[in-house]
Amino acid sequence: MLSPENKKRILVLGVGNILWADEGFGVRVVEEFYRRYTIDDNVSILDGGTQGLYLVSFLEQADCLIVFDAVDYGLSPGQLKLVRDDEVPKFTAAKKLSLHQTGFQEVLSAADLLGRCPRELALIGCQPLDLEHWGGPLTAPVRVQITPAIELACNLLAQWGAPARPRAAPLPASERLLGNNIDHVNYERAQPI
């Protein structure tokens, strides 16, 4: 068992753009994970949004990485797929929404070039249905995969010696990962489904 001084540093990261329907899957999952669970001090939770290469510094500090993202695996809409370690880079080249958006594959490559890529990688990807609806909510087949994606992450965290624990009480609105009406519930309440 690892002592507190040598615990693995773990990053749980959601990437994507909540303004493009299912492209927001990764952000919505990490947001919900944060709302439902507490974690040890060696685990960080981050909404990476569309920060691209700015995320490299966060990866440099992690021994283990879990990424939630919408990924075009060529599967049925809403299907989840977990890929690990060396398989991760080949699946992260999903369609970019604009020329200025850096794909997560480039973020991993940059961290690897610096010799600071996490030793253990896990990508929990969901096959999107709609990436074109500007301002749209997650589609139904993608939305229902939030809980199963969180369960996969909880299993990984337990394997890495940092189990997530359900919160005893709901998280107050002031402590949400996202606020200002862009959190999942408030944002989607204002949207036609």
Band the pLDDT of 4: cuts 50, 70, 90. low
How does DSSP classify residue 20?
A: B
Q: What is the pLDDT of residue 180?
A: 57
User: Residue 139: inside a domain, yes or no?
Assistant: yes
Phi, psi of 28 (to 5 degrees): -65, -35
- The whole domain housing 88 covers 10-188
Q: Is residue 3 part of a domain?
A: no
Query: Whole-angstrom Cα distance, residue 1 to residue 35?
Result: 28
Looking at residue 131, its pLDDT comes to 80
* Per-residue pLDDT at 125: 93
> What b/e sequence results for 19-35 when a residue is b if at least 16 CB atoms lie within 10 Å of its CB, and e otherwise?
bbbbbbbbbbbbbbbbb
Could you tell me if residue 1 is inside a domain? no
Q: Computed over its alpha carbons, how large is the radius of gyration of the chain? A: 16
Instruction: Indicate whether 159 pLDDT > 90.
Output: yes
Q: Is residue 75 part of a domain?
A: yes
The per-residue b/e assignment along 110-131, b for 16 or more CB within 10 angstroms, e otherwise, is bbeeeeebbebbbbbbbbbbbb
Amino acid sitting at position 181: N
pLDDT tens for each residue of 35-63? 999 999 999 999 887 666 767 777 788 89
Report yes or no on 127 lying in a domain: yes
Q: Which residue has the higher pLDDT, 174 or 188?
A: 174
Please give the tally of structural domains in the chain: 1
pLDDT digits (tens, 9 = 90+) for 6-23: 689 999 999 888 888 898
Residue 100 assigned as binding residue:
yes
Q: Which one is predicted more confidently, 106 or 46?
A: 46
In a domain, 177, yes or no: yes
Q: Could you give the CA distance from residue 21 to residue 43 in angstroms, rounded to a whole number?
A: 28
CA distances from 105 to 93, 163, 171 (A): 6, 27, 33
Q: Is the pLDDT of residue 184 over 90?
A: no
Predicted confidence band of residue 123 (pLDDT cuts 50, 70, 90): very high
Residue 120 pLDDT greater than 60, yes or no? yes
CB-count burial class (<10 Å; 0-12, 13-18, 19+) for 101: middle
Element (H, E) at 166: strand 165-166
How many CA atoms are closer than 13 Å to the CA of 132, on its beta-carbon side?
1
Q: What is the pLDDT of residue 95?
A: 47
* Whether residue 29 has pLDDT greater than 70: yes
Q: Which residues sit opposite 47 in a β-bridge?
A: 14
pLDDT of residue 66: 95
Q: For the domain that residue 85 is a member of, what is the CATH number?
A: 3.40.50.1450
Mean pLDDT of 81-93: 73
pLDDT value for 98: 36
> Is 130 known to sit in a ligand binding site?
no
pLDDT value, residue 154: 98
Q: How far apart are CA 93 and CA 162, in angstroms?
A: 29
Token couple for 82: 């977990």
Selected residue with higher pLDDT from 122 and 191: 122
